[in-house]
Chain A
């Protein structure tokens, strides 16, 4: 079987997951907002803070929960909790590697979310 690059693997997983949300009217708007904002959060606050924040918000917010699960799955980790625990326990070289990989995964999710999920106005706002 032909080798696929890491980017190709991530991209294949990312588009599947974004398309699974694109048809969910109750979830897609907030999911898109999470997808667009997460890469900047990693750059500003660091990977540990950013993923920890997603995990803390996942308790009562479906969009955060879904986005964290997708991020982990695109990266190839079992779930969001396992991803967060690996980040917290990582020594510096591994942490930097994880940051690079997750930024790549998050950037792909962001681009597909921009392409596949239309920007919708806030509820109650004038169209």
Chain B
């Protein structure tokens, strides 16, 4: 040690002569990167200090689990990343050079495209259709900020081979942005976005070239003197080709505001759209809303946020009916789903609602609820399933079996519950609580926060198979081919285990450690 210090002191002249490179500042930053963001076939991490993303993919080679790790450069000072709705693209905001990088991460490859932005945005809103990306400001102060326009909105068009970006200044800062589904009006496809702000909603038209039609401001109050109304949620109804409705829920109101958008050609207006407003009764203190497409028409379902009730509204007539939920507390979450109707060749829309503070889960059958003068249909409108513990989260496989859901419980030893939504029964699995879960058709794979094991459970029978892991796992991922399962363990260096789904035993699995140190010595020099 002493010899080394003397060596360094005496070598002062040698240092000057030898032109020693400075160490990359990324080696002084914490090792663990930001993430992961789950894509369809990979987990992606962001390492801002090295200005790179790390793509981790599981695969099976000769029947044994294997991990493929790739690194790709981002722009300067990447700050955040978001996945596309379909899990095939990654969007990275680069604060240093004011750009956006779009990574197309198809199976087996990564391609990058960049577009320059005019402002240091820090919020990204993803289009469910994958055609656009919206960039906005959160309003948070940052140390390197000199000045910026918080009302600016960046619109990135992802549809072409080259990314295109344009920028608008809205009348107020968008606190939340909600895409409307695509719809056709005046013979052309339209895309609208609702920008939610205090006491107003701004409708942004993504497809117009006309400057006066780029946005329309919709006030939720009569004047600035009124008390502030904070819009919390917006759902769109685009089923009617002549009029599109946006239903706006605010934190303060008992009503839902309906914003009706029609073609300007219908009224010879100079504007592309005409906008009108209605108020719909949505029960008392509605907290969550959802649009339901039922055989008897479009209905808006609203959950009461302060009592166990819900309201169903006919969006055409405006009539509504309120029912109680068989729960002791207000429902906080709802999951609409389609379920097979026994004896019939059709699917029925149902809604699962639950609260983290109640052991009861409720299944609502909106089709069986009469609104206004309708003739009620036969059958129970509301049914409850009682579990052994309150759920921390309920998950359903959006692509697969919609008749079963899995309820995770927060306690370390509360096991988990399989809900049969066809028979409204539950299968309780005793043991450790799940920390993460993925679906694979009629099965589900889960990991435990407190035990180094993985479980494969048959959703129909509830039969569990337990498999050993080298350590407790934090996240689980299934490959698109459904042949490999990858789990991420605790640890700053990046620890993963990859197992074949067919036989996930230690003999066929491989533990990868220090994944985030791979290629550490070969990074290019810091260019600054």
Partners in one complex: no
List B residues at the A interface (Cβ < 8 Å). Answer: none
